Structure 1
Amino acid sequence: MTSNPKISIITVVYNGEPTLEATIKSIGKQSYKNIEYIVIDGFSKDLTVDIIKKYDEVITYWISEPDKGIYDAMNKGIDMATGDYLWFMNSGDEIYDGTTLEKTVATWPNADIYYGETVMIDNNGHEIGDRRLKTPVSLNWKSFKKGMLVSHQSFIVKKSLVGHYNLGYQFSADFEWCLKAMKKAQNICNTNLVMSKFLDGGVTKQNIVPGLKERFKIMVQHYGLLSTLYHHIFISLKFFVFLLKHKRF
């Protein structure tokens, strides 16, 4: 692979009129230019498609058609992608700044996975603080015993390492997808960068209980029941401490 790999950035959206434009702009201003940008729209009923057409010079490919949910849309993006790496940046989320991708690729040429920090933003794009879970200095597949320590929006992975998202999960297929990728990875690079801005209040947060149930099931499959129960004691404690301190989760 060259030192200038192609990065396929994929945005899935449905009725994203209030949020999509900020996401597209964050991709369009990247100083790193070997980008393929794919937008998968779930046949929106608002002005989403008009916004997509407005940024034709930024978007490489796009489709607008019904899907079976967010992970089905992501799978369509994977099938369309021709890049060396995949990066999912959903509607409302943003790449942190214009130099983020350039700096990321430069940290460790040809890494299997790049990861970094994420900041939370509100509907107006204002930063409201860090994620509840802290990004580890060193990351491997066992790290997720403590929860999803790295946001999906700050996780760039070689396309050759991954397959489709498991449509058996409605809210936590990204957790399993990242975990499986890390199991295959030979080198995982901590960029020590804030890589993304994550819009607070998305689908996962709106479905926190069923999402956690799915995540527990995935953890049992990969780490075993006893290990999962043990680590959930600390996951639960940290959750309630963060909630009491910050009045959000």
Structure 2
Amino acid sequence: MKLSVITINYNNAADLTKTLHSVFEQTWTDFEYIVIDGGSTDGSLEVIRQNEGKLAYWVSEPDAGIYNAMNKGIRVAEGDYLLMLNAGDSLCNNTVLEQVFSLNTYNEDILAGDVYRAVNGKIFDKSCFPDTLTFGFLRSGTLSHQAAFIKKRLHNVVGMYDEHLNYSSDWKFFILAICKYNASYRHLPFFISICDATGLTSIPENFHAMNQEIEQILNQDFAAFVPDYVKFDSWQQKTLKHKISLAWPFAKKSIKKLIKRYQ
């Protein structure tokens, strides 16, 4: 089986329904669908039971947080690739999985497409990812797990999601996979999913704690890289400012000429 789609949910019946439908409507069907529910009490269990004939596996029981739930899904998954599409997220159209898998055979450890971001169903932003991943990119950014197809066997190398972290475990997985374990990567130059931007990592009140986790991970796993990266980044910024200061007088003259021309 090529793919396992995994959805985690807790007391989010309406958004769970939306996510389920976006998966069930796919024209390409060589995948299994797994739902990990955290013991919801809001009607989510009824939604799951109404659709259990289309699910390869589901469970509803208390968990120890988002990453614990994601790891539960990974452990029972049987697909070559895994896609984490949590309650509230949706695939951006009903042919996107066909576009990824039906005519293509991949060997890369990570396939990552682009993602829209939405609040209350309204798209307000998008993220398009680079064709090549570097430490510099991953130091200050990451891939979106809602649009990343990860080989299950990569977790045997990198490990599962770190359940001691509250916000940054998926970021940790990606930076370790690429920069420490040299995982192979392919960018898919089209949109895969619409990400619900009301999750924990999208809430401004959580940014400080999330950044603290990131700094902790960098100091733990990339202590030899960070000082040089900081110096190089500072040098680049100074160089850019210097180039701008040299170019500005010439640009200023050109702007004045244009203004006079059109007055």
Q: TM-score range by the shorter chain?
A: 0.7 to 0.9
Equivalent residue number for residue 143 of structure 1: 137
Q: Aligned to 1:192, which of 189, 203, 216?
A: 189
What is the CA–CA distance in structure 2 between the aligned matches of 1:158 and 1:92, rounded to whole Å? Answer: 23
Contact 1:114-1:191 within 8 A present in 2 as well: yes
| TM-score, structure 2 normalization | 0.78
Kindly provide the amino acid, as one letter, of the partner of residue 197 in structure 1: I
- Which segment is superposed worse, 34-43 or 186-195? 186-195
Q: What are the equivalent positions in structure 2 for 1:90-239 lying under 5 Å apart? A: 90-105=86-101, 106-107=103-104, 109-123=106-120, 125-131=121-127, 134-140=128-134, 143-148=137-142, 150-162=143-155, 163-182=159-178, 183-184=180-181, 186-206=183-203, 207-224=206-223, 225-227=226-228, 229=230
Structure 1 pair 230–196 and aligned structure 2 pair: CA distance change class (3 A): farther
Structure 1 pair 141–157 and aligned structure 2 pair: CA distance change class (3 A): farther
User: Displacement of 1:219 after TM fit?
Assistant: 2.7
User: Displacement of 1:18 after TM fit?
Assistant: 2.5
What is the CA–CA distance in structure 2 between the aligned matches of 1:143 and 1:68, rounded to whole Å? Answer: 30
What is the CA–CA distance in structure 2 between the aligned matches of 1:213 and 1:231, rounded to whole Å? Answer: 22
**How many residues were matched structurally?**
226
What is the CA–CA distance in structure 1 between the aligned matches of 2:65 and 2:147, rounded to whole Å? Answer: 22
Equivalent residue number for residue 73 of structure 1: 69
What is the CA–CA distance in structure 1 between the aligned matches of 2:229 and 2:116, rounded to whole Å? Answer: 27
Contact 2:113-2:192 within 8 A present in 1 as well: yes
Query: Residue 97 of structure 1: SS of its match in structure 2?
Result: coil
What is the CA–CA distance in structure 1 between the aligned matches of 2:150 and 2:201, rounded to whole Å? Answer: 21
Kindly provide the amino acid, as one letter, of the partner of residue 69 in structure 1: G
| TM-score, structure 1 normalization | 0.82
- Which sections of structure 1, spanning at least 5 residues, go unmatched? 234-249
Q: Pick the structure with greater CA Rg.
A: 2
Question: Structure 1 vs Structure 2: percent identity of aligned residues?
Answer: 33
Kindly provide the amino acid, as one letter, of the partner of residue 97 in structure 2: L
User: Displacement of 1:198 after TM fit?
Assistant: 0.5
- Which sections of structure 2, spanning at least 5 residues, go unmatched? 235-263
Structure 1 pair 215–34 and aligned structure 2 pair: CA distance change class (3 A): same
What is the CA–CA distance in structure 2 between the aligned matches of 1:168 and 1:226, rounded to whole Å? Answer: 25
Contact 1:8-1:37 within 8 A present in 2 as well: yes
